[in-house]
Amino acid sequence: MNEINQNSTRAHKANEAFKTRMNRQAILSFGVCVHCGMCTESCHYYLATKDPKMAPAYKADRVRKLYKKYFDWTGKLLPKWVGGGELENEEDLKELMDITFGSCTMCRRCSFNCPMGVDKALLMRTGRSILYEQGIAPQGVIDVAKDQWETGNQMGVSEEEYLETIEWLNEELQMELDDPIAEIPMDKPNCNIVYAVNPREIKYAPQSLLAAAKIFYAAGESWTMSSKGWDNTNFGLFSGDNKLGAHMGNLVFDSVERLNGKMLVTSECGHGYRATAWESPNWTGRDLKFPIFNFLEIMVDYVKSGRIKLDPSLNPFKVTYHDPCNLGRSGGITEEPRYLLKQSVSMFQEMYPNRADNYCCTGGGGAMSMSEYSKRRLETAVVKANQLKETEANIVATACHNCVDGLTDLIKHYKLKMKVKLVGELVADALIIDKKFITPTFKAPEIEEKLILMVDDEVDILTYLSTLFNDNGFNTYTATNYENAMEFLTTQKPDLITLDLAMPGKNGLSIYKELKTNEEYKDIPVIFVTGVNPDNPGQLDHRKFIYEHSLPKPEGYIEKPVEKELLLKIVRKCVEVKVDNLN
Amino acid sequence: MPLFEWEEVKIMVDEDGFMENPEEWNERVALALASTEDISELTEDHWKIINYLRDYFKQYGIAPMIRKLCKETGYSLKQIYELFPSGPAKGACKVAGLAKPTGCV
């Protein structure tokens, strides 16, 4: 009986906590969902299981019911009418934990596919926060939060252990660079950069910190690490606890101010960057006098300004890039890693989908610390595994420690032949530190963004296609008729042409004939994108036309309405076969 | 909590394959756990690392820092990754029967 009372007390407290969580963003995201279902196919949990309960809108509704009950005016009177409800017992709390912690990595891919702009990760975090306040969360999250509160870092590393590790790394660094003065500076005041890391780099995997130290060394940077407040990660983001968020933010910000650094740079950790650069300024309420950058941005600056030189032949691998959700989707850092990889590996292979549309590593939102849900995590990772497999790369590069672990886990589980590396590690391996010894012998083929010329008389279709192609990393040019298309071709040679067949004026097949009989244009792949109208007897039969004029077959054919995944597949096949031939 | 079986070995592991009851560890268990880590044979080098991890864990209840592991056993970071492809945290600690390390690993 006591237990039941206690349970209902916790549920009651969680309900009460919810009432204090509203702000503008939350109200918007709780209020505007129209249940259109656009998010369903964007979620890797749904795609892998096809379970309607894994649809983001369904999951969000488990939290949204509280909003409907307390804040929606109809819901206040007739909660059931609008799906409103309260948390009533331990079962409800358990279900909410399973959904908010165990069925969502807060990767926000669904938000990007939501026409209303609902930030479902924010809703999940709100759900997590009211549970966490009652002590309900996966044990791993509770343990890490405790370590961050008590020791200032998520792995409970003592200051002594931390400093000893840096000393040990200095020895390694001096040996590798053959320079007795190379070091990781500690507590050096007035530096240009104060560098904060993920404790994983100190406790288990220091390769990335060594790589960063080498890059700073090669660039002649004035930088330092701090003996206190050196952890850029923040489990406040995952647990929904803004107080922990502010605590960790304050520790790092204090170190920059104490050392009078000009800027704060976070190492390659996705959520660490997001928490430090975007969330902590709000959680702490501080007016910061220094800017915050991600290490990727700093490296790009070094390469562009010539402060470091890279030789891509030193990484003779086919490398693809996985966009971490907190850097790509939430941080807008998508081109920097690609720029760096194209300069430091012999072959860069894009992954599809990518950038803001990439799939989660499946370890986001703190999922790597929640063993309870590892089985489900690995089941849903089939989506990511297939995506990786298609790249046929030897190495998947990423810029987030958490992604490294998530990807490594699923690569092992699905027996893929791939290694995971951080961008900085590949850049460090490509560094030319002493030109006497290393001369660049091989220049990686510059893989520019491919250019697609789209010819169609319907402007709507052109807009749709160019958005689709741009989102997937292609440059585009549109032409609404024969004249425009030919005029463009005299100025630039596209890598691919998509051609509508039924157009007023000179139709698509005549254009096709002209292209394929012209020496200059005949090698450009062409995809027919056309509507099928059985009622229109005047419609040209393209097969007959091609046969009668002895023309080669087009590289692809797709009917309207366009199935976007299929179209992208054909497009990639056309343009990337060419890239492979170069190598 | 799944039951993991390998030859005659039967142990409870967590969803990540780490031992639930580290006190049940023995050398046969190590071989069983190694089989999940793409390690076909446990050599003398492996045992040196495993034994160090176990001693440290018995004494302090946590996994040692990578610095300690390298310094005390004499193996470089690279060698440790060669011996345990999943790395010190998820590979070596698992085979040595330690609990899953906490945090972003």
The ipTM assigned to this model is 0.95
DSSP-derived secondary structure letter, A276 = I
**Does the distance separating the beta carbons of A405 and B105 come in below 8 Å?**
yes
How far apart, in whole angstroms, are the C-alpha atoms of residue A266 and residue A286?
18
Counting the structural domains of chain A, the total is 4
Which residue, of A88, A114, A137, is where some domain finishes? A137
pLDDT at A230: 98
Query: Looking at chain A from residue 384 to 413, which residues have their Cβ under 8 Å from any Cβ of chain B?
Result: 401-402, 405, 408-409, 412
Helix/strand/coil for A422: strand
pLDDT at B52: 97
A9/B contact by beta carbon, under 8 A: no
**Does the distance separating the beta carbons of A412 and B104 come in below 8 Å?**
no
Q: Are residues A224 and A354 in the same domain?
A: no
Q: Are residues A124 and A246 in the same domain?
A: no
B70/A contact by beta carbon, under 8 A: yes
**Does the distance separating the beta carbons of A143 and B62 come in below 8 Å?**
no
- Flag residues of chain A having pLDDT under 50: 1, 435-447, 579-583
Across residues B73-77, what is the average pLDDT? 95
Within a domain: residue A152? yes
Contact status, residue A64 vs residue A26, Cβ threshold 8 Å: no
- Helix pair A295-304, A335-344: axis angle to 10 deg: 50
Within a domain: residue A438? no
| C-alpha dihedral sign at A176, A177, A182, A186 | negative
pLDDT at A441: 37
pLDDT at A442: 37
Q: Is the pTM of this model over 0.90?
A: no
Q: Are residues A495 and A561 in the same domain?
A: yes
Q: Are residues A298 and A330 in the same domain?
A: no
Q: Are residues A128 and A230 in the same domain?
A: no
- Give chain A's radius of gyration (CA, Å): 27
Contact status, residue B103 vs residue A148, Cβ threshold 8 Å: no
Would you list the DSSP string of A309-378?
Answer: -B-GGGS-SEEEEE--TTTTTTT---HHHHHHHHHHSSEEE--SS-GGGPPP-S-TTTGGG-GGGHHHHH
Within a domain: residue A439? no
pLDDT at A579: 43
**Does the distance separating the beta carbons of A205 and B87 come in below 8 Å?**
yes
The structure tokens listed for B45 are 């080098």
* Chain B residue at shortest CA distance from A415: B38
A294/B contact by beta carbon, under 8 A: no
Which uninterrupted H or E stretch holds A395?
Answer: strand A395-398
pLDDT at B80: 96
Q: Which CATH number fits domain B3-95: 3.40.1280.10, 1.10.600.10, 3.40.50.150, 1.10.10.370?
A: 1.10.10.370
How does pLDDT run across A419-471, given as a tens digit for each residue? 999 999 999 999 998 643 333 333 334 446 789 999 999 888 898 998 888 88
pLDDT at A549: 87
pLDDT higher than threshold 60 for residue B91: yes
Q: Are residues A406 and A315 in the same domain?
A: yes
B97/A contact by beta carbon, under 8 A: no
- List Cβ neighbours of A453 (8 Å cut-off, separation of 6 or more): A476, A477, A478, A479, A485, A488, A489, A494, A496, A497, A498
Q: Are residues A181 and A329 in the same domain?
A: no
**Does the distance separating the beta carbons of B104 and A205 come in below 8 Å?**
no
pLDDT > 90: percent of chain A:
78
**Does the distance separating the beta carbons of A144 and B101 come in below 8 Å?**
no
How many Cβ atoms from other residues are within 10 Å of residue A19's Cβ?
13
* Chain A residue at shortest CA distance from B68: A165
How far apart, in whole angstroms, are the C-alpha atoms of residue A407 and residue A367?
12
Q: Are residues A147 and A270 in the same domain?
A: yes
Catalytic residues of B: 104
How far apart, in whole angstroms, are the C-alpha atoms of residue A74 and residue A95?
25
Within a domain: residue A133? yes
How far apart, in whole angstroms, are the C-alpha atoms of residue A167 and residue A533?
73
Set of chain B residues whose Cβ sits within 8 Å of the Cβ of A237: none
How far apart, in whole angstroms, are the C-alpha atoms of residue A378 and residue A363?
9
The domain of A295 spans: 142-302
Which residue, of A261, A282, A302, is where some domain finishes? A302
CA separation, residue A38 to residues A102, A113, A279, A564, A569 (Å): 22, 6, 28, 14, 21
A202/B contact by beta carbon, under 8 A: yes
B15/A contact by beta carbon, under 8 A: yes
Which residue, of A111, A137, A163, is where some domain finishes? A137
Set of chain B residues whose Cβ sits within 8 Å of the Cβ of A368: 104-105
Within a domain: residue A437? no
pLDDT at A533: 66
